[in-house]
């Protein structure tokens, strides 16, 4: 897959050291306006954020306030209307689509509320995908993906397709997929929002353990104040911007 692309084919399996020791992810003056016919709907305005290496930050806020919008911008999945975003010291605004893709692949893992696993592929294949895109050979990938799946407790489910996994197992596979490329940073949009309380707690625990083991920064949106309280910092999205709160 994509072996002909020189920007991704030479990526090593272990993320290269970031060029600077600055934040792994940062935004400044960030704004987002959605246009709905004649109407302009401003969701984010002059938003500032810095996520340090290895740091965990929770984003809370009422439904519809713009948490997913913010995470999608930070993950390079959508374009801001104003401001800048830096990932691993590179300003995303200055990157071509291809460069953004390569940066995302090397430095970022994304976990969605609904797993977004590819239905026709097994758990092992799904978790292998980021490294296949990076251009690694299957012989190198399979042991890494297998190990990650073992770490999230799915060592006995490698050949199951998403429809053959429980909801919690699917989210754990999504956690493994986000982690397999050893990114500097994981962005998670309500990663356990679709699960019952006990399963949510278990999946979240797996995420925290892996993040600690790999020293990965974690930025996650949640409605669950108990989960938010586990983060190093809690930021509330309110009035189009972020402010630090204590829970």
Ligand X SMILES: Nc1ncnc2c1ncn2[C@@H]1O[C@H](COP(=O)(O)OP(=O)(O)OP(=O)(O)O)[C@@H](O)[C@H]1O
The binding site for Mg ion (CB under 5 A) comprises 67-68
Residue whose beta carbon is closest to Mg ion: 68
CB of 68 to Mg ion, least distance (A): 3
Stretch that binds ligand X, among 1-9, 66-74, 138-146, 198-206 (CB under 6 A): 66-74
**Is there binding between residue 31 and ligand X (CB under 6 A)?**
no
Stretch that binds ligand X, among 63-71, 125-133, 173-181, 212-220 (CB under 6 A): 63-71
Residue from the set 65, 88, 133, 165 that interacts with ligand X by CB under 6 A:
65
Q: Which of 79, 62, 60 is nearest to 228 (CA)?
A: 60
CB of 64 to ligand X, least distance (A): 4
**Is there binding between residue 59 and ligand X (CB under 6 A)?**
no
CB of 60 to Mg ion, least distance (A): 11
**Is there binding between residue 68 and ligand X (CB under 6 A)?**
yes
Residue from the set 27, 57, 67, 136 that interacts with ligand X by CB under 6 A:
67
Which partner, ligand X, Mg ion, none, binds residue 137 by CB below 5 to 8 Å per kind?
Answer: none
**Is there binding between residue 194 and ligand X (CB under 6 A)?**
no
Closest to ligand X by CB, 61 vs 135, is 61
């Amino acid at each position: 897959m994509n072996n002909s692309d020189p920007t991704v084919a030479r990526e090593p399996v272990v993320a290269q050291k970031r060029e600077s020791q600055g934040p792994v992810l940062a935004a400044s003056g960030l704004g987002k306006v959605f246009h709905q016919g004649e109407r302009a709907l401003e969701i984010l305005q002059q938003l500032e954020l810095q996520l340090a290496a290895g740091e965990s930050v929770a984003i809370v806020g009422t439904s519809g306030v713009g948490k997913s919008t913010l995470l999608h911008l930070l993950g390079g999945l959508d374009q801001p209307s104003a401001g800048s975003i830096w990932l691993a010291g590179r300003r995303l605004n200055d990157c071509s689509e291809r460069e953004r893709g390569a940066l995302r692949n090397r430095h970022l893992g994304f976990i969605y509320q609904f797993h977004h696993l590819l239905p026709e592929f097994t758990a092992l294949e799904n978790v292998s995908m980021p490294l296949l895109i990076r251009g690694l050979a299957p012989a190198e990938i399979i042991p890494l993906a297998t190990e990650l799946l073992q770490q999230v407790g799915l060592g006995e489910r490698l050949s199951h397709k998403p429809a053959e996994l429980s909801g919690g197992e699917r989210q754990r596979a999504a956690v493994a997929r986000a982690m397999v490329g050893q990114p500097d940073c994981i962005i998670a949009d309500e990663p356990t929002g679709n699960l019952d309380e006990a399963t949510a707690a278990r999946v979240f625990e797996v995420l925290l353990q892996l993040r600690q083991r790999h020293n990965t920064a974690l930025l996650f949106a949640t409605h669950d104040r108990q989960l938010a309280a586990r983060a190093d910092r809690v930021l509330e999205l309110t009035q189009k911007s972020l402010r630090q709160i204590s829970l």
